[in-house]
Chains A and B, each alone.
Chain A
């Protein structure tokens, strides 16, 4: 479907839903919709990114297909959402990466791993076991690592930030909202608990008719696993530069503990999510984006697996190769972050901030009504 068609279909559905409103207690999308009578493209993109895809409104809809009104909010918003990420992507020239995303990311990852492996092999320390003095950094100087990864990290942040700005302008939200602490804090709580992935309280609809909390559970493992891994790296960097303590660290040291816990979450979480994805009722999902979802899941999984393997085998001759592979994967992960499924979290969070702001204003306008 073209962007214009997706907007048209979303507009049609939101008009149906706004005349119905039966789902208003299920999530944030419907109350946000009710604040409007007509929907601009920006409004629709906002609603699409606010939707967590729990599926409740599809299972609960009296007008779902085969009804002639053919209302399928989760699928329609999923399509619009993925399409919007393409349009917001910075630089625009790379937005094409979202299409055939699985292939694109696989190629970039493979290339990145190959380059790391190749350059490592040329390092004189490569053939030495890791026990050689200098450990990790005999193979690649820490400053080079920091520069390379700092660089790709800064790029990812910049690209994501500029994409986010396009989203924010598109939905017509003033920059000031991002500076207000209340909506931000509300959104942190809503996103952190995946409040709206609960189908209004029972869980989300995965396989069959019985809602469950499977996806939310594995998403928490994934997300918090990612956060812990990121924290591990950050602590290690601080150790290195502030305390002058160099890797490898002892098993009970903070970076290793955080990394191990995070790594475990980042293994179990994505596997659970991938399984949930496979069994999910196809009627509710945007099957054309399957590659993108799978690519991101696989990248996270590879990051965690190679990281954990590195930890386990760091005292063996396999260490050098593993380090190269791990770095290759992480490098590719960050490089492709702005063009991967990762962005869903960014836009969703931003949409939640806006929603929190709108709700607060609404309450202020109608005191006493809650």
Chain B
């Protein structure tokens, strides 16, 4: 591509690539710092803000309860949670900095027009640690876009960055695919906020092998990682491992992309999970669901054909949040197997073996109860109840990829590290595209938005400072 022959957009101080939470926080903060800002968003307007559209809450440290948070959540507790879920796979300095900054986020994000939902109680278990967006992620995004617009941030939709002119740690211009053709745009600073590469099945296959063909992508089809690949190819240091991602078991009937939150299933702990050989493969009752839901994507990905079935009986049907698709129902286990395409005798045997191993106990889904199996491999260590009361139900599940962790390395000012050990002059990153810096593995609900908002705000401020010096 000959850069000189491409028509140009007027140059700006700060070019923000990607219009999700991270991108908008960066754009607003850069604009507030006095820079002229353009956001280029690959998706059409409705699909703007990629995965942010699907979110619900954000995890911020706070020292006291508020109208929207039921109790304090200290920086130390947040850090301990992060250490635990990542098993130490985090950059401690960056993580501590982010957690400290997250405190201010609770107010800052409100100043940008976003509203928190007063704590309602009921179905949500994260009321103390996480703040919920009133109206959800799209409402939050709409508020950020309105604020950005009011401040004079320019936004272009259907504008995918295809190329960057990077020379020794310095970026000069970007090439954008736009409905009218290619456009080149020069900027003084760049903020990469284009999400992960979870919608790029080919790339997922590089890491996971052919199994990735059967993965479902829970969020936007537009996070294809083109920008991440460009940056890595052009000398930015990568962080994290391409196989690390947030993956849960979602309803196998969900659409390939963008099915969002409503295809999740919270019923693993109430039944058994079998693969397509009708065999169990993991302890369904290992720990309370919020602590375990994020391992099941990976577990199912390791099963033949990347499919599994949650099987339970009538006594559990109403114990969990409803989801989009109805469970498959049958009067007997054999009939259920038939409907699922599983070998009937085998499923009957698996259920019978499980039922025989169940010990008497007092069922309580709110605590780690004493309902468990004895002499069964793998065991079910809590909430084990015989599957005996028809009708019998099943949900087919597949791995649903939420987002990927491979990213670009940044410092505490969100500035990119180059692979040669130097710091980039004018390239910053925020959000999913650099999540791997603090989130090497595992997940704590709501931290995706924390990473985007905190690093977005910093990246915008620093990018503006660089552009306006």
Interface of A (DSSP majority class): loop
Within the complex, which residue of A18, A63, A369 is in contact with B322, where a contact is CB–CB below 8 Å?
Answer: A18
Residues facing B in A1-40 (CB within 8 A) are 15-16, 18-26, 31, 34, 37
Is B121 interfacial (CB-CB < 8 Å)?
Answer: yes
Q: How many whole Å from A29's CB to the nearest CB in chain B?
A: 13
**Cβ–Cβ < 8 Å partners of B117 in chain A:** 24-25
The answer to whether A22 touches B323, judged by C-beta atoms less than 8 angstroms apart, is: no
The answer to whether A369 touches B136, judged by C-beta atoms less than 8 angstroms apart, is: no
The answer to whether B321 touches A61, judged by C-beta atoms less than 8 angstroms apart, is: no
Is A152 interfacial (CB-CB < 8 Å)?
Answer: no
Is A202 interfacial (CB-CB < 8 Å)?
Answer: yes
The answer to whether A34 touches B324, judged by C-beta atoms less than 8 angstroms apart, is: no
Within the complex, which residue of A15, A31, A56, A61 is in contact with B324, where a contact is CB–CB below 8 Å?
Answer: A15
Is B63 interfacial (CB-CB < 8 Å)?
Answer: no
Q: For the complex, what is the distance from the CA of A61 to the CA of B47, rounded to whole Å?
A: 11
The answer to whether B123 touches A25, judged by C-beta atoms less than 8 angstroms apart, is: no
Within the complex, which residue of B115, B255, B324 is in contact with A201, where a contact is CB–CB below 8 Å?
Answer: B115
Is A59 interfacial (CB-CB < 8 Å)?
Answer: yes
Is A62 interfacial (CB-CB < 8 Å)?
Answer: yes
Q: How many whole Å from B138's CB to the nearest CB in chain A?
A: 5
Within the complex, which residue of A16, A37, A56, A370 is in contact with B135, where a contact is CB–CB below 8 Å?
Answer: A56
Q: What is the size category of the interface that chain B forms with chain A? A: 20 to 34
Q: For the complex, what is the distance from the CA of A62 to the CA of B118, rounded to whole Å?
A: 21
Is A57 interfacial (CB-CB < 8 Å)?
Answer: yes
Within the complex, which residue of A21, A67, A210 is in contact with B258, where a contact is CB–CB below 8 Å?
Answer: A67
Instruction: Indicate with 1 or 0, residue by residue over A228-272, a CB within 8 angstroms of chain B CB atoms.
Output: 000000000000000000000000000000000000000000000
The answer to whether B46 touches A66, judged by C-beta atoms less than 8 angstroms apart, is: yes
Q: What is the size category of the interface that chain A forms with chain B? A: 20 to 34
The answer to whether A209 touches B146, judged by C-beta atoms less than 8 angstroms apart, is: yes
**Cβ–Cβ < 8 Å partners of A25 in chain B:** 117-118, 120, 132, 134-135
Closest to A12 in B: B324
Within the complex, which residue of B121, B255, B263 is in contact with A369, where a contact is CB–CB below 8 Å?
Answer: B121
Q: For the complex, what is the distance from the CA of A34 to the CA of B132, rounded to whole Å?
A: 17
The answer to whether B53 touches A62, judged by C-beta atoms less than 8 angstroms apart, is: yes
**Cβ–Cβ < 8 Å partners of A21 in chain B:** 123
Closest to A362 in B: B122
The answer to whether A202 touches B115, judged by C-beta atoms less than 8 angstroms apart, is: yes
**Cβ–Cβ < 8 Å partners of B323 in chain A:** 19
Closest to A20 in B: B262
**Cβ–Cβ < 8 Å partners of B122 in chain A:** 34, 366, 369
Within the complex, which residue of B46, B53, B120, B146 is in contact with A24, where a contact is CB–CB below 8 Å?
Answer: B120
Q: For the complex, what is the distance from the CA of A366 to the CA of B261, rounded to whole Å?
A: 26
The answer to whether A19 touches B262, judged by C-beta atoms less than 8 angstroms apart, is: yes
The answer to whether B134 touches A366, judged by C-beta atoms less than 8 angstroms apart, is: no
Q: For the complex, what is the distance from the CA of A19 to the CA of B254, rounded to whole Å?
A: 13
The answer to whether A26 touches B134, judged by C-beta atoms less than 8 angstroms apart, is: yes
Within the complex, which residue of A26, A60, A67, A370 is in contact with B142, where a contact is CB–CB below 8 Å?
Answer: A60
Residues facing B in A34-61 (CB within 8 A) are 34, 37, 56-57, 59-61
Closest to B149 in A: A209
Instruction: Indicate with 1 or 0, residue by residue over B307-325, a CB within 8 angstroms of chain A CB atoms.
Output: 0000000000010011110
Is A200 interfacial (CB-CB < 8 Å)?
Answer: yes
Instruction: Indicate with 1 or 0, residue by residue over B98-132, a CB within 8 angstroms of chain A CB atoms.
Output: 00000000000000000101101111000000001
Closest to A66 in B: B46
**Cβ–Cβ < 8 Å partners of A24 in chain B:** 117, 120
Residues of B within 8 A of A (CB): 46, 53-54, 56, 115, 117-118, 120-123, 132-139, 142, 145-146, 255, 258, 260-263, 318, 321-324
For the complex of A and B, 7 pairs with smallest distance between CB atoms? A22-B136, A369-B121, A60-B139, A60-B135, A25-B117, A19-B262, A62-B53
17 residue pairs of the A-B complex, CB under 8 angstroms, read A15-B324, A16-B324, A19-B262, A19-B263, A19-B323, A22-B136, A24-B117, A34-B123, A37-B322, A56-B135, A60-B138, A62-B54, A200-B115, A209-B142, A209-B146, A369-B122, A370-B121
